[in-house]
Chains A and B, each alone.
Chain A
Amino acid sequence: MSAASRAAGQPGRNLYDVHEVRKDFPILHQEVNGHPLVYLDNGATSQKPQCVIDTVRHYYEHDNANVHRGVHTLSERATNDYEGARDTVQRFINATDRGEVILTGGTTDGINLIAQSYGRPLLKAGDEIIISTMEHHSNIVPWQMLAGQTGAEVKVIPVNDDGELDMDAYMQMLGPKTRIVSVVHVSNALGTVNPVKAIIDAAHGVGAVAVIDGAQAAPHLAIDVQALDCDFYAFSGHKVFGPTGIGVLYGKRALLEDMDAYQGGGDMIRTVSFEGTTYNDLPYKFEAGTPNIAGAIGLGAALNYVTNLGLEAIAAHEHAVLEAATSALSEIPGLRLIGTARDKSSIVSFVMEGVHPHDIGTVIDSEGVAIRTGHHCAMPLMKRYGVAATARASFALYNTREEVEALAHAIRKVKEVFHR
């Protein structure tokens, strides 16, 4: 029995025992460079619980077949499991119907799909797309490509020194030419949780659609696409304890139905003739070719794991870890936090006087602590804060306060090496 199902068996219990939860993640129990692994690079990718590993393994050992074709038993099992995963996603994000859940390759894939299938036929020269300074390159470049194709213009919401969006500037930017607003729910480089509900409502006020990049939100926050009223919401499976190469794009049915198909191929058609082709219903219209079946099934297992543990409990646990990390790192002289928004989730980004983040990463790896160093695929944001790169520790539901202490200890080692 996993820690998640144990926790689920205790109604009313708000927090979980993180040491029990850690038993569900086999990869965490190893030494790296002679020290217990302290994995704090969850913003890049998360580790997988045993139930996800077992689910994917079971699929390949017992049920592997292609989906939506063939009448044989394995094909039926594979199809049921694949479509069952879609139902799990639908419940996870509270979508109105399963046709609104498109299984993609990941967040990047989803955003490109929106840009090309929704944006490209619609946008004209002079139309405007609004993004923000804190976007990941995957929520910048697809819009730049779309702007290049259509003559539309990309406008950028500025951020303040704490790493919060300048909402007044955003409101000023909105206008009759605004067609698409696409912003990140939780910043991968700063940890800022953006006021997406207000952003979406304001976009609707001028008749624009709102796209939310939820790559960093899905592992930490409860997502309710109906409450948000977003038009599109994209996230990746691998950041929420599922496999790589699988992701989710939610879209409102009315929009998806009017949109062109993204890629042509098998599964996305109803009939094909050389005179013309009719497309399949939602969501299959957007799922050309054999999908990532094992990935989808693994993602379903991952989302069930998260749901059983409880996103409220996860958020409460992670908040305590983040507070501990913020306070421990703030005490280290010469260390500066980048990103001090009031509403933050699970990420501490920092720079150190006289030590390049790359060197921080190498030294603390020698202590078994894994963090990300670099520009976090957010080069415009790095420029905004006048740094080439930062060091980033990003936490997940299985990280502990002891690991925060190990991080702080490893950072002191950096100072020893560089200021000896």
Chain B
Amino acid sequence: MDLRALYEEVILDHNRNPRNYPKKPEGCNCTAHGHNPLCGDEVQVHLRVEDGVIKDIGFEGQGCAISTASASLMTEALKGKSEAEAAALFEALHDLLTDENAEQSDAITDRLGKLTVLGGVKEYPMRVKCATLAWHTLAAALEHSKNLVTTE
């Protein structure tokens, strides 16, 4: 196991200095609360969505390096994206982490861009939920659901 592949410099940087954190954008109209009961990690994702486009996004909460970095990278990647593009990115990330559609890995990497650094998590199945917590929470927020989501 290569720890450096898991804890890439980009991940450590986003863990130390999370972007759009702690932040609730002005005019926020979508929020969801995510919780990983396994480790107690919690995240709140806040968005301002106008005409199906994510105009602004931020997050709050506490988590491990993987979940914090994933949330931070997510907020950077999604600003200005449409809801459909956000859903497609989550799907691509899911494929990357679970090795589904592995034959299309180049295409997935192209779509994910900087988010590809999260790929090291694939070797640590116990940690995949850390990397996807913020994204599950995002999906719930976009459904305008105020319900608590969990990774279980």
> Could you mark each residue 70-83 of chain B with 1 if its beta carbon is under 8 Å from any beta carbon of chain A, else 0?
00000000000000
Kindly specify which of B20-28, B37-45, B85-93, B105-113 makes contact with the partner chain.
Answer: B37-45
Distance, CA A418 to CA B12, complexed state (A): 7
Kindly provide the distance from the CB of A133 to the nearest chain B CB, expressed in whole angstroms: 17
Chain B residues numbered 1-59 whose CB sits less than 8 Å from any CB in chain A? 1, 3, 6-7, 12, 16, 38-42
Q: Are B63 and A356 in contact (CB under 8 A)?
A: yes
Q: Are B1 and A355 in contact (CB under 8 A)?
A: no
Q: Are B16 and A374 in contact (CB under 8 A)?
A: no
Interface size class of B (residues with CB under 8 A): 20 to 34
Kindly provide the distance from the CB of B111 to the nearest chain A CB, expressed in whole angstroms: 27
Q: Are A366 and B40 in contact (CB under 8 A)?
A: no
Q: A355-B65, A359-B66, A388-B62 are in contact. Are A374 and B38 (CB under 8 A)?
A: yes
Q: Are A362 and B124 in contact (CB under 8 A)?
A: yes
Q: Are A354 and B64 in contact (CB under 8 A)?
A: no
Distance, CA A358 to CA B16, complexed state (A): 15
Q: Is A268 an interface residue (CB 8 A)?
A: no
Q: Is B122 an interface residue (CB 8 A)?
A: no
Q: Are B3 and A358 in contact (CB under 8 A)?
A: no
Q: Is A375 an interface residue (CB 8 A)?
A: yes
* Contact partners of B6 in chain A: CB under 8 A: 362
Given A354, A358, A388, which contacts B42 in the complex, CB threshold below 8 Å? A388
Q: Are B40 and A375 in contact (CB under 8 A)?
A: yes
* Contact partners of B1 in chain A: CB under 8 A: 33, 366
Q: Are B130 and A358 in contact (CB under 8 A)?
A: yes
Q: Is B127 an interface residue (CB 8 A)?
A: yes
Kindly provide the distance from the CB of B39 to the nearest chain A CB, expressed in whole angstroms: 5
Q: Is A190 an interface residue (CB 8 A)?
A: no
Closest to A379 in B: B40
Q: A356-B63, A358-B130, A362-B127 are in contact. Are A417 and B3 (CB under 8 A)?
A: yes
Distance, CA A69 to CA B6, complexed state (A): 57
Given B65, B126, B130, which contacts A418 in the complex, CB threshold below 8 Å? B65
Q: Is A152 an interface residue (CB 8 A)?
A: no
Kindly provide the distance from the CB of A228 to the nearest chain B CB, expressed in whole angstroms: 33
Q: A366-B3, A417-B7 are in contact. Are A356 and B38 (CB under 8 A)?
A: no
Distance, CA A133 to CA B62, complexed state (A): 23
Q: Are A418 and B41 in contact (CB under 8 A)?
A: no
Q: Are B39 and A389 in contact (CB under 8 A)?
A: yes
* Contact partners of B42 in chain A: CB under 8 A: 388
* Contact partners of A355 in chain B: CB under 8 A: 65
Kindly provide the distance from the CB of A385 to the nearest chain B CB, expressed in whole angstroms: 12
Chain B residues numbered 117-147 whose CB sits less than 8 Å from any CB in chain A? 124, 126-127, 130
> Could you mark each residue 340-383 of chain A with 1 if its beta carbon is under 8 Å from any beta carbon of chain B, else 0?
00000000000000111111001100100000011100010010
Closest to B61 in A: A388
Given A362, A374, A417, A420, which contacts B40 in the complex, CB threshold below 8 Å? A374
* Contact partners of B63 in chain A: CB under 8 A: 356
Given B7, B12, B41, which contacts A388 in the complex, CB threshold below 8 Å? B41
Chain A residues numbered 7-61 whose CB sits less than 8 Å from any CB in chain B? 33
Interface size class of A (residues with CB under 8 A): 20 to 34
* Contact partners of A359 in chain B: CB under 8 A: 7, 64-66
Distance, CA A357 to CA B127, complexed state (A): 13
Closest to B62 in A: A388
* Contact partners of A374 in chain B: CB under 8 A: 38-40
Kindly provide the distance from the CB of B72 to the nearest chain A CB, expressed in whole angstroms: 14
Chain A residues numbered 387-405 whose CB sits less than 8 Å from any CB in chain B? 388-389
* Contact partners of B12 in chain A: CB under 8 A: 417-418, 420
* Contact partners of B66 in chain A: CB under 8 A: 358-359
Closest to B3 in A: A366
* Contact partners of B40 in chain A: CB under 8 A: 374-375, 379, 382, 388-389
Distance, CA A373 to CA B12, complexed state (A): 20
Distance, CA A10 to CA B134, complexed state (A): 59
Closest to B4 in A: A417
Distance, CA A355 to CA B65, complexed state (A): 7
Distance, CA A354 to CA B126, complexed state (A): 21
Distance, CA A382 to CA B10, complexed state (A): 30
Closest to B2 in A: A366
* Contact partners of B64 in chain A: CB under 8 A: 356-359
Closest to B124 in A: A362
Distance, CA A377 to CA B58, complexed state (A): 30
* Contact partners of B126 in chain A: CB under 8 A: 362
Q: Which residues of B contact A (CB under 8 A)?
A: 1, 3, 6-7, 12, 16, 38-42, 62-66, 68, 124, 126-127, 130
A-B contact pairs, 27 of them (CB 8 A): A33-B1, A355-B65, A356-B65, A357-B39, A358-B39, A358-B41, A358-B64, A358-B66, A358-B127, A358-B130, A359-B7, A359-B65, A362-B124, A366-B3, A374-B38, A375-B39, A379-B40, A388-B39, A388-B40, A388-B41, A389-B40, A417-B3, A417-B12, A418-B7, A418-B12, A418-B65, A420-B12
Q: Which residues of A contact B (CB under 8 A)?
A: 33, 354-359, 362-363, 366, 373-375, 379, 382, 388-389, 417-418, 420
Known: A357-B39, A363-B3, A388-B39. 11 other contacts (CB 8 A): A356-B65, A358-B39, A358-B127, A362-B124, A366-B3, A374-B39, A379-B40, A382-B40, A417-B3, A418-B7, A418-B65
